Structure formats: C-alpha cells, structure tokens
Structure 1
Amino acid sequence: MNDRHTRRFGLGTATCLVMGNIIGGGIFLLPASVAPFGTVSLVAFGVLTIGAVALALVFGRLAERHPDTGGPYVYAREAFGDFAGFLSAWSYWTMTWVSNAALAVAIVGYVHVLLPGRPSDTTDLLIALGALWLPAVANFAGTRYVGLVQTVSTVLKFIPLLFIAVVGLFFFDPANLGSFHEGSGSALGGMSAAAAILLYSYVGVESAAMSAGEVRDPERNVGRATVLGTIGSAVVYLLGTVAVFGTVAHDKLVKSQAPFSDAVNAMFGGHWGGTVVAIAAVVSIIGALNGWTLMSAQSPYAAAKDGLFPAPFLTKRRGVPTFGVVAAGVLASALTVINYLLGSGGVFEILVLITTFSATVPYLLAAGAQVYFLLSGRRDKVRPARFARDLTLALTAFGFTFWLVAGAGYAAIYQGVLFLFAGILVYAWMAARRTARQEEATAAAATPTPVDHEAVPRPAASAAAPPHTT
C-alpha cells in the first residue's frame, strides 16, 4: 500500500487525536456531577491527572519498542501471548462501538438547543444515526481526512473551553465554592466518591499508540503526542472545573443541567451561554466520534493480522481498516435503534456500564506488559538508564488503572466480566480455525511430491559395448 496514504499523522495531528478522544461530551456535565462532594473533588481530579499522565508515559515507552497499529493489543500479546492479546482487543473493540452509541445519543440534546422544535423519537434517532455515520464517511476517505477533521474539531472545541476556563478565573469568587467536603463521611471518602465519577475522564490516552502504524516517526511522535494530548486535556478539565466552581454559586451548581452555560451567563450576563456551549458540545462530540470510529477499527485490524479476529477486519483503504469502521457503525447503530425504537433503556444502560469495565482491561494488560518487559531482563527493549523511572511509571499506571476498576462499581465489573468471558467463544473459534490451517499447511509440506516417471530422462546407453569374452 502506498505509504503516503498510511503515514499521514504528524505530531500535531496525533496530539489532536488524543485530545479529541479524551475530551468528548462528558466534560460539559462534569462540574455539576462532582459538585455535591465539595471542592475535595478538585483534589481528586488532580490525583487522577497524575495517574493519567503516568499511563500516557507508559504508552509512550511501549510505543518506542513496538510502534505498530494496535497499541495495547500488541503489547499484551507480545508479553503474555495470544489469549491476553485477544482479551485486550476484544475488550477495547466492544468499548469503542458501545461508547460511540452513547456519544451519538448524547449529541441529540445539544442539537435540540441549537434547533429548537418539538422532539420526536424518529427525529432524535435520525440525528443520532447521522452523528454516527458522518465521522464514518470521513474515515472512509482515509487517514488524511480523519486527521483533518480531528485537528479542526479539536481546535474548535479547545479554544472556547480554554477561553471559559481562563476568563472564568478573573470572575472567580471563593464564596461560590461552598465547603471543602459536603455530605456525611470523611473527606477521603468524598474524594474517592468524586473520583469514581471522574475516573473515566481520561479514557483515550492510548489513541496515538492504537494508531501508531499511521503516525510518522512513531518511536518519537507517539509518546510525545500521548503526553501532550493528555496534559492539554488536563488543563482544560482542571481549569474549566475550577472556573465553573468559582463563578456559579454552589447551591445552583449542584442542581445545574448545563454548568458551563451557567458559568458563561454568570460571567457575561444574558442567556446566550447555552447556545455557545451547545455549539462547543456538538463539535466536541463529533470530533470524539471521528477519532473513536478510527479506534474501533484499529484494534480488531491488529488482531486479525495475527489470526485472532476474522479476516475481513484486515480490509484496509488509505490507512483506515474500512471493514472495522462499517462493523462498528452497524453495531453502534443497532444499539441506538434499540434505545429509541424499542424503549429498552435498561439494555442500553447495561451495555454502557460494560464499557466502563472494558476500557480498563487493555490498560491493565499494557501496564502489566511494561512491568514484565522491565523485570524479565529484556532490557535491550528499554533503556537501562531509565529502568527505575520506567518501573515506577509502570507501577503507578497499573495502580491508577486498578483504581479505575474499583471505581467502576460492582454492577459494571460483574456485567463486564460476563461480557469479557463471552469473548472466549470467539477466541476458541478463531484459534481452532488457525490450528486447522496450520495443520493443513504442515501436512502439505510433509507430503512428498509425486514423481512423474515418464518425465524423468533415462540414462543414455554407452556408445561402445564392452568386448565379449569367453
């Protein structure tokens, strides 16, 4: 395949891919979600940011030693074998397309703010499906257009969010903060409760590593893009949350359905903040869907190359695994249809809970893989001078991800484990097919080639017969 189609992501585009996937639609509700716990939630956010940066650095280190498309899947398979690699790919794949459905449903409310009218399930369904398939069209066009959409959407959502975050500091009023800890229990308990809500704010740090095969000079750029994108997202998250906390009165923030809109209205007056934030939210979600659509195809593509996913996932055009894009789009669309037409909100909520657990499986395996590489003596794959630092980062990332699992809740873990184990049947099927093909190839190689005796030339007769003696 022509390299000019498959190596389109430079450092800037890869950074936008990370930021665009991390910052989705959830940021617009985060301040109100954690406000009931008090300002201790800001401390929780800071602790989470440290863990997310450690995880980003680990992905950067791993990408240096194995800069191939598939990211967490590649690391898990190389360290622990096919089965661990499959579990990583399976979990990540299911997380992406279910999350895409959730993002598509979330965008509907913001579209109604911009285009007011009488809502209906049919209209909402069409809006959600359009949000799913417009990014898919960009993906079909190739990595050049994926990168373009991602860069534009990230800039368009980053600038207004950063503007609100920075300008909000000039309107900051400490009287709006409320107490450090709200509710019963200890401050540590409140921080943990807030962290449980904030835990998944940084899902997406692996985006550059997942698409390493499409990044120019991946040994250097994947790690840089991962760290820069994570830090950029952290700046928006932390400053934005602090600005909203300081501009919106605490008792109003706890009940707010649009905290950033309320912050804009508090800073500048009027009631136009909702429109501004709705535009930013629509752009943010479209950008996230664009990036996550690519992610939904990259993991099964990498696994299919090793015979762990069906062969059609290998179909690739202009750097994008098109079959994976279609498969994820169809599955996400089906889930969206179930949500709107059948009214099975319970089914949709269960599957969304599953994604909260599924996101952590590839992270745990990747962090564990780095620990394995460091402790197994394979220091030719890592820089010896960085051994202690890299081991500390890997253990911090593993602990951070373990905290993610604990914060997912019993229901998410229970349902997520069941769905994870269901993938064993897929692995058994693919492993059996691969073994059968290998046995056929071995048997064919061991079978001697039949000799066509008619085609073999006979030895020439001697020109002079030996003399006859008595």
Structure 2
Amino acid sequence: MPVTGTAPQPAPSAPPTPEAPTPGATARDRHDDTGRHARRFGLPVATALVMGNIIGGGIFLLPASVAPYGTVSLVAFGVLTVGAIALALVFGRLAERDPRTGGPYVYAREAFGDFAGFLAAWSYWITTWVSNAALAVAAVGYLDVLIPVNGHRWTACLAALALQWLPALANFAGTRYVGAVQLVSTVLKFVPLLLVAVGGLFFFDPAKLGAFNATGHSPVGAVSASAALLLFSYLGVESAAVSAGEVRNARRNVGRATVIGTAGAALVYLLGTLSVFGTVPHDRLVRSAAPFSDAVDAMFGGTWGGWAVALAALVSMTGCLNGWTLLSAQTPYAAARDGLFPAAFARRRRGVPTVGVGVTVVLASLLTVYNYVSGSAKVFEVLVLVTTFTATVPYLLATAAQVFHLAAGRREAVDRARLARDAVVTAVAAAFSIWLVAGAGYTAVYQGVLFLFAGIIVYAVLAGRRRGGG
C-alpha cells in the first residue's frame, strides 16, 4: 500500500492503558481486569512466552525433515537465526516507541493508518488460529504413543479438540494462569530437549553426519530448500510485542524478552539438530519418524526414548497452544478498541480478551474437524504453510514502520551510530520477512492472498459502518 509524502495519515487514537477499563465494560469486568487474576508478566514469563511460542512441536521432527539435505541445513539454521534475531531487535525498538498491546498491528497503524493496521491484525489473527489447529492435530500423534487414540478418526478428532480447549480454559481463567502454565510448560519441555542438545554432544560421532550437501544441487540451492522447511519454526518472535500491554516495564522488557527468547530458541534448535545428526546414522535419520527418540536410544540404549520424547512433545505443544491462544486474542482486542474489528473483541475479563479467545478456539476447532472429516493431510499442510505467508504480512508492515520512523527522524537529533545500526538490522529483518514469503511456496501464497482479500471486504464493512455512525 503506497503512502505518499504529502497525504496526511490519520492519527491513531491513543487507547487507554491496559489498566484502564474497556469501553462498554461492566463494573465487574473492570474489577476483574485489575484483580489478582490479571497479574502482569515480568521478564521471565515474557521470555518464556517467546521461547514457548517459537519452540512448539516442530523441533521434535526438524532433524528428520532436513536430514535429506545433509548438514548444509545447519547453515540454513544459522542464516534463519540471524534473520529472526534481527526481526526481534526491530520489535524491541518498536516496543520502546509504543509499548501497547497489539504488536505489529499497533506499529503498522501508527505509521501508515487504519488500513495497514487492519491488514496486520487480520493476517496475524489468521496465522494464530490456523497454527493452533495445526499444533493440536500434530500433538495427537505424540499422544498416540502414550495413549492409543489414532485408531479411530473421531477419537483422534476429540483428542485434538480437547488439546485446544484446555489451553483456552486456562486463558479464560486469567493472565495469571496463562503465565503460570507457560512458564511451567517451557521449563518442563526443556529438560528432554537439553538432554539431547547438550548430552548428545558427548556421544557425537562425526562419521554419522553424512554428506555436507546430500542433494547434489548447489550449496545455495540446498540452503534455500532446507530453509523452506525451517521457516515455520521461527514464527513467534513477536509474542512479547503482541502482549506488550500485559508486560511490566514494557519499553525495557519487551525488547529484552524478544531477543533473549529468540536467541535461546535458536540455540536449542541448533544444538538439538546437531546432536541428533551426530548420534543417529544419516541413512536411518532420513527415514525416522521420531528422531529425538532415536537419538536417546542411541545414547543410552533401550526403547524408553520414544515415551520420554512423546511426553516432552505433548507438554511442549500444550504450552505452545496456551501461549498462541492468548496471542490469538490480543491483536483483535487492540484492533477492536480502535474500531477496526467488531466491538465484541474488545471485551476483556481477568486481563484476557475472552471473546477473542472464544472465537479463535471455535474457528480452530472447526478447522480441526474439517481436517479429520476430509481425511486429506495435504489440504491441512497447505493451510499450515499459509500461516508462514500470513505471518509475514504483519512482519513486513512492522519492519516498514521501523523504516518509516528511521526515515522520518529529525536529522539534527539523531545518534548517527545508532541510526546506522538500526538501519542495518531493519534491512536484515526486511530481507528475512521476504524470504519467509518465498519459502511458503506458490500454493500457500495463493491461498494466503485469498484470506487477505476476504479481510478487505470485512474492513470495507467496518469502515462503512464507522463513517455512517453505525
């Protein structure tokens, strides 16, 4: 969306602080928003939110997914990590400027106006509830190792629905419980992950690594191809920024939590994948359905690794669903307070936008049921890739907002060293976001554009009602 230098942009109305009552809220709502159930996050919980949302269930499958490309995939990990940390730094800078709940939505609207803000909110909302459905279905596969549920389609479907509604109930209970669940699940899932990531280094055998480039293509092509599989794993770097209104001392802690959480997740990814590569023979790893289980078995013998890793994966994805459920409601909440989403999304109880949580879990549940009824994994995989594309829309808009602020800064008041540093970081973040679009693939981009176009119609209806006073 081009923005001319002469056309004035509408100044966003300053929404009330997170402690202020939501317009139209009841007295009970206002009491609950500031009560003991609406406790705000500190740096540890905000960092856990970022790490927990980045590290979902994908890490338990990643080594086998990229093994066919060889150890060149570790180079792709490194490149992606640089881009993700650059994006994290951009979110930290933007949060210093505007530490309100909503993250990319707030940044895009403040810089470019209502339409850009709506696109950021709409696309991010799509990303969250489609991702929730994907995580729940994937979690059923790990649950099946512990309790057989995949024998019948509807049993598996009910299990997936339960895995979505339990985190939703934690969210309905208030941000105090959301933070507690997120912190506990993040700590618990790191025990087995660190066991492999760190312990595996003591059992590392270079002879098991296989070829550096097993594809026969150019190294650049191999890096790009393996990166396409890894891109989805870095979604979530914006988690603390989206929930900035619930973070204590947000101007300082959002940026720190985002960078620390992203760097920590990247370290676990890299060490975990390297350890699995060095403990499981390459020809076996390519065919593995549970690479971390195979790594534990190779390290200590026996077959108990499958149970341990399945339990860790289940805890990991439940915690991830808990965090994503909160995020799925925060952006529509911020947009609704500005009149860019239906007003119902602005209702909040115990610090949580309950309508947003409810609508999101219902949509994710319907998508889950559709997945099981259709019996087509390919349709669902395309929808998962759509989230990679839809997430890049708010990423690009937020990065563009940072470019806008850097370009609009008064030259006489600018710290030139900081300006140069921020410009380089922002350029890397922009390139990373565009690479995410390319990695999603043509089909996913096509489907994602259709979702965005549907949002334009919704925006037209809401804008028309605002102008007409309805």
CA RMSD of aligned residues (A): 1.6
Q: CA deviation at 1:378?
A: 5.5
Report percent identity of matched pairs: 71
**Structure 1 residues 385 and 184, CA gap change in structure 2 (3 angstroms):** closer
Report the residue type matching 1:35 in the other structure: A
Name the residue aligned to 2:76: 44
Q: In structure 1, how many angstroms separate the alpha carbons of the residues matched to 2:106 and 2:357?
A: 20
Name the residue aligned to 2:355: 323
**Aligned residues between the structures:** 438
**Contact 1:338-1:344 at 8 Å conserved across structures:** no
Structure 1, unaligned runs of 5 or more? 441-470
Report the residue type matching 1:305 in the other structure: R
What is the aligned counterpart of 2:259 among 212, 227, 246?
Answer: 227
Q: In structure 2, how many angstroms separate the alpha carbons of the residues matched to 1:372 and 1:394?
A: 11
Q: CA deviation at 1:341?
A: 2.8
Q: In structure 1, how many angstroms separate the alpha carbons of the residues matched to 2:415 and 2:254?
A: 17
Name the residue aligned to 1:113: 145
Name the residue aligned to 2:321: 289
Q: Deviations over 1:337-384 (max 9, x none)?
A: 111234354543343232121011110111111011001125799866
**Structure 1 residues 299 and 395, CA gap change in structure 2 (3 angstroms):** same
Name the residue aligned to 2:131: 99
Q: CA deviation at 1:6?
A: 4.2
**Structure 1 residues 350 and 164, CA gap change in structure 2 (3 angstroms):** closer
**Structure 1 residues 380 and 22, CA gap change in structure 2 (3 angstroms):** farther
**Structure 1 residues 382 and 234, CA gap change in structure 2 (3 angstroms):** farther
Name the residue aligned to 2:167: 135
Name the residue aligned to 1:453: none
**Structure 1 residues 3 and 278, CA gap change in structure 2 (3 angstroms):** same
Q: In structure 1, how many angstroms separate the alpha carbons of the residues matched to 2:294 and 2:361?
A: 34
**Contact 1:7-1:213 at 8 Å conserved across structures:** no
Name the residue aligned to 2:284: 252
What is the aligned counterpart of 1:309 among 341, 359, 384?
Answer: 341
Secondary structure in structure 2 of the residue aligned to 1:178: coil
Q: Deviations over 1:12-63 (max 9, x none)?
A: 0000000110001111110011111111110110111111111101100100
Name the residue aligned to 2:120: 88
Q: Deviations over 1:75-96 (max 9, x none)?
A: 0111111111111100000110
Name segments (4+ residues, structure 1) moved above 2 Å.
1-7, 341-353, 377-385
Normalising by structure 1, we get a TM-score of 0.90
**Structure 1 residues 364 and 406, CA gap change in structure 2 (3 angstroms):** same
The range that moved more, 302-311 or 6-15, is 6-15
1:351 aligns with 2:369: no
Higher radius of gyration, 1 or 2: 1
Name the residue aligned to 1:424: 456
Structure 2, unaligned runs of 5 or more? 1-29
Q: In structure 2, how many angstroms separate the alpha carbons of the residues matched to 1:205 and 1:384?
A: 27
The range that moved more, 381-390 or 245-254, is 381-390
Q: In structure 1, how many angstroms separate the alpha carbons of the residues matched to 2:459 and 2:385?
A: 23
**Contact 2:149-2:159 at 8 Å conserved across structures:** no
Q: In structure 1, how many angstroms separate the alpha carbons of the residues matched to 2:66 and 2:276?
A: 12
Name the residue aligned to 2:98: 66
1:157 aligns with 2:189: yes
1:243 aligns with 2:259: no
Q: In structure 1, how many angstroms separate the alpha carbons of the residues matched to 2:161 and 2:403?
A: 42
1:21 aligns with 2:21: no
Name the residue aligned to 1:271: 303
